[in-house]
Amino acid sequence: MIEFWSNQPSVNRLAFISDLHLFSNRCNADEHHDLIDQAIADADLCVWGGDLFDFRWSRLQNETESVRTALEWLENWYIHYPTTQFVFLDGNHDAHRVFSEALAEWAQKRDRFTCGLDCIRVHDTLLLHGDVIEGKGDLDRFSDYRIRWQNKPTASQVASNIYDVAIATRMHRAAAIAAHRRRATCIRLMHWMHAQPDERTAGVRRIVFGHTHRRIRGYRLQGVEFHNGGAAIRHVPFSPIELEFEDDLLV
């Protein structure tokens, strides 16, 4: 599940951007455009960390329009930064079967874009969407969880209206705080990491993830540092994660 990033050139600076939830009513990514743009401009590698797009709660005309718009959005960044490497990590809201197939076909024609991954390791850092915690560290449970999301239809207008009320009253933020307490979440991620092959995790000093919609800046647990950029959703803090690697890691 963990893939080593070995593409050249070497990565000195990295940007991790996740949980924009584009296409949903709750998204406020436009307000963070300049932050996102600057993070990518400063990076050798941009990791799209999952849930960039929200196919479950998309308010676009139909599935075809959602997929087309998602690819167009990725293409705009790809063209705008012609020397930057891009990696797309699946999240539960955009691990959508039709989109994943279209994305794989699109990426085949772009040599600086990699997709179809759940977790990558860059130097001493693991980067993943973070919904592995829903599988309680078990790969089969996580696979079942993702399959359920792949097959979820677009929510009805009635369901979307109810969700909008929850956002307006900030119930979503209270739910995220209750469900994803910082220490408990990091312990679950450590449990998942320790279940992976030792050769993939030995020497890991940082874990960067999304999914929980709770911003974390350098929280340390058992010698590992954790980072989460939050989410581009109304009433939720958000910022890209920007990392610079020490000279002794650059080979």
- Asked if residue 3 is part of any domain, the answer here is no
Cβ atoms of 142 and 134 closer than 8 Å: yes
Is 33 within a domain?
A: yes
Phi and psi (nearest 5°) for 103?
-65, -45
In-domain check, residue 145: yes
Residue 190: inside a domain: yes
CATH code of 104's domain = 3.60.21
Amino acid at 101: E
CB proximity list for 167: less than 8 A, separation 6 or greater: 25, 26, 233, 234, 235
* pTM reported for the whole predicted model: 0.88
Please report whether residue 2 resides in a domain. no
Number of domains in the chain: 1
8 A C-beta contact, residue 22 and residue 99: no
In whole angstroms, give the CA distance from residue 183 to residue 89. 24
pLDDT of residue 237: 94
pLDDT of the chain, 251 residues: tens digit per residue? 899 998 766 899 999 999 999 999 999 999 999 999 999 999 999 999 999 999 888 889 798 999 999 999 999 999 999 999 999 999 988 888 899 999 999 999 999 999 999 999 999 999 999 999 887 667 777 778 777 777 676 666 655 655 566 666 666 555 555 567 899 999 999 999 999 999 999 999 999 999 999 999 999 999 999 999 999 999 999 999 999 998 655 54
Residue 5 in domain: no
Opening angle at CA 20, ends 19 and 25, nearest 5: 120
Query: What's the DSSP call for residue 157?
Result: H
Q: 5, 122 in Cβ contact below 8 A?
A: yes
Is 135 domain-assigned? yes
In a domain, 4, yes or no: no
The pLDDT of residue 251 is 47
Q: Report yes or no: 19 and 51 within 8 Å, Cβ to Cβ.
A: yes
pLDDT value at residue 120: 96
Domain that holds residue 22: 11-246
What element of type H or E holds 167?
helix 157-168
